[in-house]
Amino acid sequence: MLTTQLELPMSPLRQPDPAGGSLSIQDRFEAFHELNPWILAKLEAMTADCVERGLSRVGIGMLFEVLRYEYGRATLGDTWKLNNNFRSRYVRLLLEQHPEWGAVFELRGLRSA
């Protein structure tokens, strides 16, 4: 018998942050990154691979989805394994460590701190 989407177990709802919502995205990202340094290392390796293959543009969204698919590892510090709100922060860390990749990623302004 086929299982329908409604029969699948629901994932737990995201819990509010312990400070009552007062932590900024940047604060939450920094805490998450400190607990999960392997994520930046994997994103860095994947970006280097893309550049070596001759890609002139790389999207952090694509890298996040590949990371989710290939690694699917549990992370610490957030309900989501890879929170999409942290994508722009990871790109900025990559560019901080590898300014030569400046033309590879397109940056937009941050909407929140």
- The pLDDT tens digits along the chain (113 residues) read 444 444 434 343 344 455 556 889 999 999 999 999 999 999 999 999 999 999 999 999 999 999 988 877 778 888 778 899 999 999 999 999 999 999 999 888 777 65
Contacts 24+ apart (CB under 8 A), 42-49: 42/67, 42/71, 43/67, 43/90, 43/94, 44/94, 44/97, 44/98, 47/94, 47/98, 47/101, 47/104
pTM score over 0.85: no
79, 86, 98 from 11: Cα distances, Å: 10, 20, 36
Element (H, E) at 96: helix 87-97
pLDDT for the residue 72: 76
pLDDT for the residue 71: 77
